[in-house]
A and B are shown apart, each in its own frame.
Chain A
Amino acid sequence: MAGFDKRVFTYQEALEGLTDNMTVIAGGFGLCGIPENLIDEVRSMGVHGLTVISNNCGVDDFGLGLLLKDHQIAKIIASYVGENAEFERQVLAGEIEVELTPQGTLAEKIRAGGAGIPAFYTATGYGTPVGEDKETREFGGRRHILEESITGDFALIKAWKADWFGNLVFRHTAQNFNPAAATACRTTVVEVEEIVEPGELDPNQIHTPGIYVDRLIQGNFEKRIEQITVRAA
């Protein structure tokens, strides 16, 4: 069974082998479900020249925004990058490369990458700047563009619970890009709120099977909220 025990006990171990110029796919939507401690560790490691794929790029002082300060990110592929002043400054100064990608296309690029499909056609983005210089083809009387899949070196994932085998369960909308990202990289590192004994998770309820997971670590999370909106009790 030790062969399937994915647990590691330090964040250094969790990200061992992550080096300059690698491609990293991070889960999360806004600040929800982001691998906050793994990102922190990437900052501590001081690796540079990273290509980061993530739906968003955090905020100035939290999440992927932390990696902007020391220019650790050379290129980011994302669907929406507002909410971040330093990011905006680097874009306008030409210090960071940005590839804006429609959110559904981004999800599908990662999914397809993880499933061994190198490219796919989609109507999304046809006739827009996203479709420029891409192959097109007609299906069912409608034009589509060819989008290439994404794979990476390291996936940084946040899940709710896992067992030693790396079977993962996500919680609420913190799921988002995490399950797809977990499938698309050579090394998948997952941080969770709780690691349970084998057998405790119901196999019917697993979101991400352990086959995709290489390293697993239990962390403590701040879980910052971007926009608190409430109704009267």
Chain B
Amino acid sequence: MTLSRDQMAQRVAQELQDGFYVNLGIGIPTLVANFIPEGMDVMLQSENGLLGMGAFPTKDEIDADMINAGKQTVTARVGASIFSSVESFAMIRGGHVDLTVLGAFEVDIHGNIASWMIPGKMVKGMGGAMDLVAGAANIIVTMTHTSREGESKLLTECTLPLTGQGCIKRVLTDLAYLEIENGAFVLKERAPGVSVEEIKEKTSGKLICPDFVPEMEF
């Protein structure tokens, strides 16, 4: 079975550590916040200038001056700080964020990522994605293994304009968890019930499969 969006978020959440500062991108990465393990404290960074993003406000707490990078109304948790965009990106570009989770259109065996632009379509902009992938040492990309048309999104060479070069080492798809090492995807875990054969078939870039590939555990 392919992983649901929630299961993908749940698997990513297993990579969190107590005391981590984490930036979550829009989409599946945002859901990771719902699966922070019990007893673990994680501080969420929102690149518009908030470290320690809290829950959505109640109707009475809504404040136009308090939003996240997705432009949603939010609150600040205990221990939060608020600052300028300059400060926010100093944190990101200076490598101070412990983990970044973001989506992508394509990833390749060189660790390149394409996530912001499809030529011929209206281009809305990269926002903070290029800074995040260039600045973070610890990045997890979450995406479906194939496109809606069934094309592999794990490639030998990205076909779309890049967001960053050589910066991705870990990818979680709805089929597998893979790491990028020495110009290849290395299959580390497979989704429960998904065969190594299926993953091989749907991975276009070079794939190394160890003799034993464990199923993910939740």
A residues bordering B, Cβ < 8 Å? 29-33, 55, 78-82, 88, 91-92, 100, 102-105, 107-108, 110-111, 122-130, 160, 170-180, 207, 223-233
Contacts and interface: CB of A to CB of B under 8 A. Distances in A.
Contacts of B56: 229-231
Contact of B62 (A33, A80, A171, A228): A228
A130 B163 CA distance: 9
Given A29-B49, A104-B92, 11 more contacts: A30-B48, A30-B71, A55-B85, A104-B130, A128-B162, A128-B163, A128-B164, A160-B65, A170-B84, A175-B49, A230-B59
B140 to A, nearest CB: 19
Contacts of A88: 122
Contacts of B49: 29, 173, 175-176
11 contacts: A29-B85, A79-B127, A80-B125, A80-B126, A103-B85, A107-B88, A125-B134, A126-B164, A174-B64, A176-B84, A227-B71
A126 B73 contact: no
Closest 7 CB pairs of A and B: A127-B165, A104-B89, A104-B131, A223-B64, A80-B125, A82-B124, A102-B130
B208 interface: no
Nearest to A57: B125
Contacts of A160: 65
Contact of A171 (B65, B135, B161): B65
Nearest to B161: A129
Given A29-B48, A32-B65, A230-B58, A102 B73 contact: no
A224 B135 CA distance: 32
A194 to B, nearest CB: 14
Interface string B162-181: 11111000000000000000
Given A104-B93, A171-B65, A79 B126 contact: yes
B128 A225 contact: no
A108 B66 CA distance: 23
Contacts, number: 176
B134 A177 contact: no
Which size bracket describes the interface of B in this complex?
35 or more
Nearest to B50: A173
B37 interface: no
Contacts of A130: 126, 130
A30 B47 CA distance: 12
Contact of A230 (B67, B73, B123, B127): B73
Contacts of A110: 86
B73 A228 contact: yes
A71 to B, nearest CB: 19
Contacts of A232: 58
A32 B128 contact: no
B125 A82 contact: yes
B190 to A, nearest CB: 31
Given A173-B67, A178-B84, A224-B64, A229 B74 contact: yes
A125 B67 contact: no
A104 B92 CA distance: 8
Contact of A107 (B89, B112, B130, B163): B89
Contacts of A124: 93, 130-131, 134-135
Contacts of A92: 122
**Which of B68, B74, B123, B130 has the most A CB atoms < 10 Å from its CB?**
B130
A231 B166 contact: no
Contacts of A104: 47, 85, 88-89, 92-93, 128, 130-131, 135
Contact of B86 (A108, A173, A226): A108
A82 to B, nearest CB: 4
Interface in B170-217: none
